Amino acid sequence: MRRFLRETVGSLVVAMGLLVSTAVDSGRPTHAALVPRHGVDVQRRIPKEARTGARPFVRTELFFGTVRPGGTVTREEFRTFVDRQVRPRFPDGLTLLEADGQFQAEDNVIMEERSFVLILLYPYENFEKTSERIERIRHLYKERFNQESVLRVDASNTVWVSF
């Protein structure tokens, strides 16, 4: 069993090394060019046939916690917030997911909570303008529901989207 694990892990390390060492800059700007990163961004060439009709988009995910002093944010309260604050800012589309999450509060207490995940895809060329709208949503949620934070995750590379 140990030999199997050692060989499997070794194969994965070799495969990851090959992926990193053969990464090629596609020549297209990436989201990483707009946001400073503290690591290595790996870019892979996208075949031209896969880009036919596709445009570079950025993917942003927002994680909204629901625990607050005196209770939790209900599904109805969150839906009302989305209808009033998010949908008007992103009429072209969005995706909402419910999740079970965990975070460590400022007082180092680990909290488990239901959370909501908002996924946004938007054109690369609109990053700065869209980022302002996203930051406004984060600010409004924290203020309205007495939250310490709304986690934001931006994809480090653009994604190619075709409709």
> Six-digit token pair at 132?
């302002």
Question: Do residues 160 and 51 make contact, with C-beta atoms less than 8 angstroms apart?
Answer: yes
SS3 content of the chain, % helix, strand, coil (to 5): 35, 30, 35
Structurally, at CATH architecture level, domain 1-163 sits in 2-Layer Sandwich (3.30)
Tell me, what DSSP letter sits at residue 124? G
Whole-number Å distance between alpha carbons of 114 and 155: 23
**Residues 7-66: tens digit of each pLDDT:** 433 433 333 333 333 333 334 444 333 444 455 555 666 666 666 667 788 999 999 999
Say what the pLDDT of residue 144 is: 97
Chain center to CA of 36: 16
**Residues 73-95: tens digit of each pLDDT:** 999 999 999 999 999 999 999 99
Task: Give burial (CB, 10 Å; 0-12/13-18/19+) of 131.
Answer: middle
> What are the boundaries of each domain within the chain?
1-163
Nearest Cα to 123, choosing from 35, 52, 50, 60?
60
Say what the pLDDT of residue 54 is: 72
